[in-house]
Amino acid sequence: MARQGVGRLSHSVCLVLTCLSLALHLILALFCLSVLQTSCVIPPPSSCSSSLSFPGTVPHGKQGRSHSLSSQSSSHKLPVSRMNGDFTKMAAHIDHKVEASFNIVNEKEKDKKLIQTKMATKVSQRISSRSKLEALFSHPLYNLPRKHLLEDDWLLKLKPKNKGGDKERKCFLDNNKDGYDRANWTRSADTHPAWLRYHLGISRWELYDRNDPSVAEVTQQMATQRILSAVQKSGGTQLKLIMSFPNYGQALLKPMRQERDAETDFNLFYFSDFERHNAEIAAFHLDRVLGFCRIPPVVGRLINITTEIRAITTDHKLSRTFFTSPVGNLCFHGQCEYYCSTENPVCGRPQVLEVSLASMLPDLSLAPRRSWRSPWRRSYSRTKLAPWEKNPDYCDTVKQTPPYNQGTRLVDLIDMVILDFLMSNMDRHHYETFEKFGNDTFLLHLDNGRAFGRHSVDEPSILVPLRQCCRIRRSTLMRLRLLSLPGFRLSDVMRESLSQDPLESVAPLLSVQHLSVLDRRLKTILQAVHTCLEHHDDVIHDDLQGYDVNLYRH
């Protein structure tokens, strides 16, 4: 009986061990299947091993359990040792697969991150290599389809060929003895100097095409060509000179009268300030950045007063005004209505002088211009107010008055107001147009010497025409919004544009304060337009009608 009991017990124990072994193998098979299915998100092997607690393993912190299992295996050596050996091999195989799978995932992630890093680097290099100014001028808003120009839409025309003759008309000039180039101009543009090609490119709608290489040639030649003649320009309140170059081109010179960062005295009236040479240069660049192209090309230059003015001038009235200051600087003052005296001289350091040179427009005998009094002209009085300053509905009267009652004249004037407000120019009493084009043409933005006088405060009265009339071109508004974005920030593109001027190597043409104030004033303009849109319906003059406006959104 005792032997039978022991046999039954041994049989039961073997049966239990067999079942236990089968259960363990089944669990291991399920575990392997789950590992293969989730290999992409498998955690590290250490966490896997710590989360598993199969019999026969010795995870960290489970030594007590391991000790009890080892004592259990000593009482059933053969079955359990075989189980432990099989499990150890199985576990090692699984861990190896898991680790390999994890390493593959890690390598893929590293490769992916490396590719993303390289792509980001390339993009950043592409962005950094492409300047904001280039990006701005590449934007669709600055590359709108040009209007079809008829023959009468050009300001100047070349004379036609002789009827029935083979000989071509030529313009031959030979003043080589006076230092001028020998000119042999034909109908071919290749024979024309840059200033003549620029003049021939003036049309009804713009003073120049921004992409016209002649404009860059004109500025480069004004900055570098030898000066052959210097005479004082008649009229005007302050000193200006007309400079002539060997290729028969001419430029209007305005001298440096005060330091660039000097603000206008707050006790002075707007008509009492000196004109600034750097204001003329900056106004040309700002007008171009805004997409107007209505200011003749302007460039800065360092000249020698002795060799490039005094020694070559044929103006006897001018030559009599030269003198040497107490500190040894060569000075002159010319003759004009204001600021032309020994108390307000133009002085070199000791003979070198900073100036602005603006390309002259075609002669009035070829292209007459009409001068228009601005409806928002100031009173130029210390006591009187202008009509627009007393009547908030003043624009209603202007809208009924020719030429503002039809065409684009009113929004043309608003463009000029926006330009003046950005550069704080209060001296816009008149503007000019080319007579040939009548009322249907652009406005010339001339004489900007009193701009950029103050940066600490803005002059809200300059913006009164926009607030009273509540009219603006769609293209102008969209460009202003574009320039308010960080990628095209107005102050940044202006800084970059001005860096192309030769005088920038001497000192910044506009101070940091003058540049940063452009962004502040731009916000003021956009806020004024927003207020108009809230209270009026007919605010936008749609000059983009017929175009897909979505193409020009930013």
Query: What residues are annotated to the active site?
Result: 427
Q: How far apart are CA 32 and CA 247, in angstroms?
A: 89
* HEC string for 100-143: HHHHHHHHHHHHHHHHHHHHHHHHHHHHHHCCHHHHHHHCHHHC
Per DSSP, 172 falls in state E
Integer angstrom CA distances of residue 207 from 197, 224, 359, 546: 12, 23, 12, 24
Q: Are 543 and 475 in contact (CB under 8 A)?
A: yes
Q: Sign of torsion, CA 305 239 200 302?
A: positive
In order of 106, 113, 546, the CA distances from 109 in angstroms are 5, 6, 50
Is 359 within any annotated ligand binding site?
yes
Per DSSP bridges, beta strands 369-373 and 352-359 are unpaired
Helix H or strand E segment including 171: strand 171-173
Is 135 annotated as belonging to a binding site?
A: no
**Would the annotation count 447 as a binding residue?**
yes
Whether 37 has a binding-site annotation, put simply, is: no
**411 touches 529 (CB < 8 A):** no
Name the phi and psi angles at 77, rounded to 5.
-65, -50
361 carries a ligand binding annotation? yes
Rounded to an integer, what distance in angstroms lies between the CA atom of residue 240 and that of residue 230? 10
Residue 252: name the closest of 178, 363, 355, 369 by CA: 355
Tell me if 153 sits within 8 A of 203, measured CB to CB. yes
Instruction: Tell me which residue of 195, 190, 187, 242 sits closest to 216, measured CA to CA.
Output: 195
352 strand-pairing partners:
304
Q: Residue 230: enclosing H or E segment and its boundaries?
A: strand 229-232
Please enumerate in sequence order all residues whose Cβ is within 8 A of that of 493, keeping only pairs 6 or more positions apart, or say none. 132, 133, 136, 289, 483
360 is in an annotated binding site: yes
Q: Does residue 110 have a known ligand-binding role?
A: no
Residue 254 assigned as binding residue: yes
Is 238 annotated to bind a ligand? Reply is: yes
**DSSP structure string for 454-489:** -SSS--GGGGHHHHHH--EEHHHHHHHHHHTSGGG-
Counting every residue written for the chain, the total comes to 554
Residues annotated within a binding site: 238, 254, 275, 358-361, 432, 447
Residues annotated within a binding site for Mn(2+): 275, 447
Residues annotated within a binding site for ATP: 238, 254, 275, 358-361, 432, 447
